Structure 1
Amino acid sequence: MFQEEKLINDPIHGYMTFKKWAVEFIDTEEFQRLRDIKQLGASYYVFPGACHNRFEHSLGTAHLAYTLTKKLYEQEGISKQDKDLECVTLAALCHDLGHGPFSHVFDHEVIPELGKVLNHGKIKWKHEDASEMMLDHLYESPKPPSIELGTDDLDFIKALIRGDQKKSDRSPYLFDIVSNSRNSIDVDKFDYLARDCYYLGRKSLFDSSRLMKFAYVKDDQIMYYHKECVNIYEMFHTRYFLHKRIYNHRVTRAINFMIRDALVKANSKYHFEEIIKDPELYIKLNDSILYEIEYSNQTELEDSRKIVKRIRQRKLYKFVNECLIPKNRKGITKENLNECKIANYGKNLKEEDIIVDWQDLNYAKGENNPVEAVKFYKKNYKKKLEVIKLEPDEIRYLFLNSMKKKLFAYMHVIQKRSTQFMRLLKNLQKH
């Protein structure tokens, strides 16, 4: 007999309880595939502790979504539907079903590069597109989960995954839980910040459990106790730190590009532009593709195989230098480097030997301060909740003063050869 609930012990959240209907989703091929996709992609090659996968992150996100929704349901006067609770939990569980090999390397690097190589222009595809495709595939299988979900429910789950409130007429505050497009405070971030820091051996002062405890629904959105402003800033500080020091580490980026080049060169065999449209093929796509390439004897994979072996032997693309360049000078390209050349700084250097990597580091909302989009409340003298708007100085006192005025892009120039030309970069900064 199938147990009504299942306990899963997690190093981040402790014992997590999942209802039968959630377990049925977890035990599908579509979801189990996430065990073989690294959460941090190529970061594992730089930080050996970062060995966690999309599987456990999705479980943790679903646990937090269920917990937060149940907590909000305790509040009087808001819409509470069991079906909404189930949909929010399933959206959190399935939000990463569409990730490809090495997570964001696939949708941020491989697919865009394929569009250029195949002359398709920009391929309009994100992993959320594949998440919807895999969710449909999961539910259209011969033995779908027993939970009854109508077309409207499935559309609601997809809208939650995208954070697109316009595509559903359900309670607006529910769209602040899984993927919050309003201010970027959501359980997806709660889990991956805590999980990534744990496996990287880093410390974070952000406390998501406390923030959820003080969450409150008013005016169709989730707001927080005004004293949690500092806690919210800790969340965005942690995210900024991880992007700057971990996710965009220079060696990680070099390996990202090597994986990209290996997969693009292998496309004559795999045809990824077609795989991303076919759930029967996509379900077989995960990090193991590098092993498949490495141990293959096929001639058409020879170039890809050489790149993968270089990764194994740590013969990586070389990081040359980085420089801060204001956004209004973002016209610097590989062609500019070729023009400034090479005549004086590296005669054997070719345009195809250089990768210019732009990195815009921000607090999740571009040049805007995300905390300005957060509503807060406090208790008045009658102990009633009162919605307040924090003063600009209160909101920005932890936000970098120069963030709006001096958002720079990091230009990482990674050569496929070891020729050094740092003076060239310094000249480019002057022009």
Structure 2
Amino acid sequence: MEAQNEARSKVFNDPIHGHVELDPLLIKIIDTPQFQRLRNIKQLGGGYFVYPGASHNRFEHSIGVGYLAGQLVEALQTRQPELNIDERDILCVKIAGLCHDLGHGPFSHLFDQAFIPKARPGVEWKHEMASVHMFDHVVESIDLKLEEYGLVLPGDVTFIKEMISPEYTEPLSKATYVLSSSQGPYKGRSKDKSFLYEIVANKRNGVDVDKFDYFARDCHHLGIQNNFDHRRFLQFVRVCEVDGQKHICTRDKEEDNMYEMFHTRMSLHKSAYQHKVNKIIETMITEAFLKADEHIQIAGSGGKMLTLSTAIDDMEAYTKLTDHVFEQILNSSSPQLDEARQILRKIVTRDLYKFLGEIENPTQVCTCEMIPLWKEELAQELLQSREGLTPEDFEVQKITIDYGKSDRNPVEYIYFYSKYDPTEAFKMKSYQVSEFRRKYFSEQTFRFYCKKTDDNTLKADREHFDQWCRRKGFSKASGNI
């Protein structure tokens, strides 16, 4: 424990959680280049171009998740000593919360959900994977002696990685790991501590401290009301056994609060994450990155040079890849980056692809396979008023917004307990749920944009779009959203 005695904890003044004190080992990780890069990765990707207050980054979010992870596991330790939660468990949970987003690329989810699938089709890659690799890179790059902080290797390291990425399994080699077809069994902790895996990334019902922080933080910076109170959850959280498995539960009277959590998620997606301007800006950034990909050179390990899309294969190169690549392209004078530069200039001058309208798809009869045909038909429709349009001049996006469990009520997946018997867990019955609750929990729309529409032709183009929608029999056609 010599290293822990030499190091000291630090206090951060966080706008969401107040004064946050973190352990010496967490401070050691925070002070690495791999963690500091998160200062330069926007939490909401292109959302900053829509919401002026959305300037917060993955850095402060990660600190918040590390803090809340500690708060939750320490609450369980105090409330239920019989769970045998020890200091190693607590430290591992805190580290997993702190490091869960180390693997995010430029503009957060834009990179792993939009850019990489198009730049490297067929490559199985998620930011959770990269977080595990980046955690290894942190440990190796500073020769971090985890055992000097009381951890037991390799079990505790495996436990941390399993919490960061619930699909993690033991590595086949030093650089890769395979995906498990199930959520367990885990190797880092025994079955009697399986509930610890529900704290940072809860794949069972989505109730975890990652969401607690980004709901509160995103609402704060976006100026959106957050009706979910994670502090109440911490007051009532406890562990119960269900069918031989231990799960995190909350009081039955907290059903309203839990519903508000998922309602907040839906509201954030509708108002911000899936905002029509935000989504088209992220589409334009993705297009620019794809055009710039092979012309951006990043030095990796051993002096090897990698591109935007291949940097994910080398954590030394990936450490250098942040949102700054946007300015790198925008301010470049290289002829090879001219096409990408022109797209980014359109963003900063607000010369965006124009929104024509959207169609509702309540029965989900429309599929992404129809998009190429729709583009061809729209090109022909708009040619009635002007020339030069091709199917490539249209962008069609499929938008799905739900409460976190597709078309199901996510509260159905939560275990509750009553004050009369805090050891017995149960799920809410349908007759116990308020009639004020909504009956549908998912909606799907297709949005249509035109890349060559300007303000002078926008009105006519939207009229032609409406005519096309009516002939197709679509339930909704609106260009005024």
1:120-159, aligned counterparts within 5 Å?
121-144=121-144, 146=146, 147=149, 148=151, 150-159=153-162
The reply to whether residue 45 of structure 1 matches residue 81 of structure 2 is no
Aligned length: 421
The 5 Å alignment of 1:30-429 reads 30-74=34-78, 75-115=80-120, 121-144=121-144, 146=146, 147=149, 148=151, 150-164=153-167, 165-166=183-184, 168-169=186-187, 170=189, 171-219=193-241, 220-270=246-296, 271-325=307-361, 326-331=363-368, 333-346=370-383, 347-380=387-420, 385-395=423-433, 397=435, 399-403=437-441, 407-418=442-453, 420=461, 421-422=464-465, 423-429=467-473
Shift of 1:429: 4.3
Partners in 2 of 1:198 and 1:249 — Cα distance? Answer: 17
Q: Please list the CA deviations of residues 146-193 of structure 1 after superposition, one character each: whole Å capped at 9, or x if unmatched.
A: 534523222211111123451524111001100000100000000000
TM-score normalised by the chain length of structure 1: 0.93
Unaligned runs of 5+ residues in structure 2 are 168-182, 297-306, 476-481
- Paired residue type of 2:318: Y
Aligned equivalents of 1:256 and 1:384: distance in 2?
A: 47
Q: Which AA in structure 2 matches 1:157?
A: I
Q: Normalized against structure 2, the TM-score is what?
A: 0.83
The residue identity in structure 1 corresponding to 2:322 is N
Counterpart CA distance in 2 for 1:361 and 1:64 is 27
User: Which of 18, 24, 35 does residue 22 from structure 2 map onto?
Assistant: 18
Is contact 1:354-1:414 (8 Å) kept? yes
Q: Which amino acid aligns with 1:424?
A: W
- What is the DSSP-based 3-state SS (H/G/I as helix, E as strand, rest coil) of the residue aligned with 2:249? strand
2:102 is paired with a residue whose SS is: coil
- Cα 1:39–1:429, aligned 2, differ >3 Å: closer, same or farther? farther
Q: Is the 8 A contact 2:376 2:390 kept in 1?
A: no
Q: 1:176 to 1:399 in 2, by over 3 A?
A: farther
In structure 1, stretches of 5+ residues that fail to align are 116-120
When residues 396 and 156 of structure 1 are mapped into structure 2, their CA distance, relative to the original with a 3 A threshold, is: farther
- Would the aligned equivalents of 1:160 and 1:175 in 2 still touch at CA under 8 Å? yes
% identical equivalent positions = 38
CA distance in 1, matches of 2:395, 2:152: 47
Offset, 1:388: 3.4
Contact 2:103 2:129 in 1 (8 A): yes
Asked whether the 8 Å contact 2:238–2:250 carries over to 1, the reply is yes
RMSD of the TM alignment (CA)? Answer: 1.9
Q: Distance in 1 between matches of 2:291 and 2:215?
A: 33
3-state SS of the aligned residue for 2:398? strand
Q: Residue 123 of structure 1: CA displacement?
A: 2.6
Structure-2 separation of matches of 1:91 and 1:221: 19
**Match of 2:184, SS?**
helix
* Residue aligned with 2:239, SS: strand
Amino acid in structure 1 at the alignment position of 2:161: K
SS at match of 2:141: coil
What secondary structure sits across from 1:390 in the alignment?
Answer: coil
Q: Distance in 2 between matches of 1:35 and 1:349?
A: 42
- Distance, in Å, in 1 between the alignment partners of 2:439 and 2:250 is 24
Give the conservation status (yes or no) of the 8 Å contact 1:371–1:395.
no
Residue deviations 1:78-111 (CA, integer Å, cap 9, x gap): 1312212111111110000011111111111111
The amino acid across from 2:403 in the alignment is Y
